[in-house]
Structure 1
């Protein structure tokens, strides 16, 4: 089982909506991912596999060199984009 943190700057609006959609995609497709939610403040202490966020924040996290695979989403409600990017990240972990 993999662990994913869905995060945005404040951890309130966009990331909460994204977390709900990611959880729906995980459940609907039986993906081996546990989903957590927080603000970016939780990133340094997160020991999981993926960080899922919006594309602008994803770029910043990559530049900072976080150890997790960073998945940047352009839409917080596009379940097709979430599924495609999450499945691609899972394939890379295999």
Structure 2
């Protein structure tokens, strides 16, 4: 059985956009049956969240995670669920 992955969704403040992304990502992983637990936080909380497999953040924050061992997905438009699905599919194809 595949180990459950840990996904952290981050935005600058940890308020609206990361919560909206979290809801969208949870719907997508439920639809596909991906083994993943999703949390969200503000960028300032990243120091305590190093033990994650996947980070989803706004595209302008990607460089902040270049030293992280986690796979990083940068999002331009939080309403673009098709892009999110493609990126999640790509991530799970690489990790299986």
Q: What is aligned with 2:34?
A: 31
Which 4+ stretches in 1 moved above 3 angstroms? none
Q: What is aligned with 2:52?
A: 48
Corresponding residue pairs, total: 92
String of CA shifts for 1:32-86, please: whole Å, max 9, x gaps.
1111011112222221101101111113322xx1121111111112111111101
- Alignment gaps of 5+ in structure 1: none
Q: What is aligned with 2:15?
A: 12
Q: TM-score w.r.t. structure 1 length?
A: 0.88
Q: What is aligned with 2:61?
A: 57
- Alignment gaps of 5+ in structure 2: none
Distance 1:42 1:69 in 2: 18
RMSD: 1.2
